[in-house]
Amino acid sequence: MNVRLKKIIFISAAFILAISIGIKVYTINSKYPQPEIVEYNQGRLIKGGELTIRVARSRIMELSPDYNQNVTDPKGVSVNKNDIKVLLLDIDIVNTSDEDKQMSMINFVAQSQAWSNGWDMDLYSILNNTEYTNISIEANQSETIQLPFLMYRHQFKEKSWNDIGKRQFDLILTSYPVKNIVKLKVEKSKTEAG
């Protein structure tokens, strides 16, 4: 086989592969479109079936010196506690049904511009005195939980870190096909979390 024929076969195969990938991407995107985005302000009720949630309070705090967990960043690197701040949310969850319900807390993410982070399980367990990520709520009852998100100095530029209380933070609640965004009104707190 000559070089020219090999080149034609290679280019044809690459072209067919590119077309196949394009069709597959289009098919998947058509089947699973982008989620609908719904925005709320802090304090507004978000209804999801028979459970309603509301972010009652949001604040930035220092990590308590008494917090005795080994602190690592999301990559597993050990971090000085002085280089961590906590975005702490008080979340009210109301069960409006006549049956006990469960709510999983796994789909909650805090975001501010390019920064985003999931909540911290160790600090969550301490603050809420539980090791479970599912919240059990009795019929026609409510629960208030504290949801902590850790922020690390190395995730921000120095000026942003020093002015972190001036940033806009959002809580993202994703439950496909809807992406709920809660615009937080973060207060700077002098108290400590943990």
User: What is the SS3 assignment for 134-153?
Assistant: EEEECCCCEEEEEEEEEEEH
The residue with greater pLDDT, 68 or 177, is 177
User: Over 90: is that where the pLDDT of 111 sits?
Assistant: yes
Q: What is the pLDDT of residue 88?
A: 95
Return the closest-CA partner of residue 46 out of 157, 181, 143, 159: 181
pTM for the model stands at 0.77
- As a whole number, mean pLDDT of residues 114-127 equals 90
- As a whole number, mean pLDDT of residues 70-74 equals 67
The DSSP letter of residue 96 is -
| Average per-residue pLDDT for the chain | 86
User: Over 70: is that where the pLDDT of 193 sits?
Assistant: no
The residue with greater pLDDT, 174 or 150, is 150
Return the minimum-mean-pLDDT range out of 18-22, 28-32, 94-98, 124-128: 28-32
User: Over 80: is that where the pLDDT of 26 sits?
Assistant: yes
Which residue has 């599912």 as its token pair?
Answer: 134
Return the closest-CA partner of residue 127 out of 102, 155, 149: 149
- As a whole number, mean pLDDT of residues 133-161 equals 90
User: Over 90: is that where the pLDDT of 64 sits?
Assistant: no
The CA angle 47-53-57, to the nearest 5 degrees, is: 140
The residue with greater pLDDT, 26 or 57, is 57
Q: How, if at all, do strands 46-48 and 51-63 pair?
A: antiparallel
The residue with greater pLDDT, 49 or 169, is 169
The residue with greater pLDDT, 74 or 179, is 179
Cα–Cα distance between 193 and 75 in angstroms, integer? 22
3-class DSSP assignment, residue 68: coil
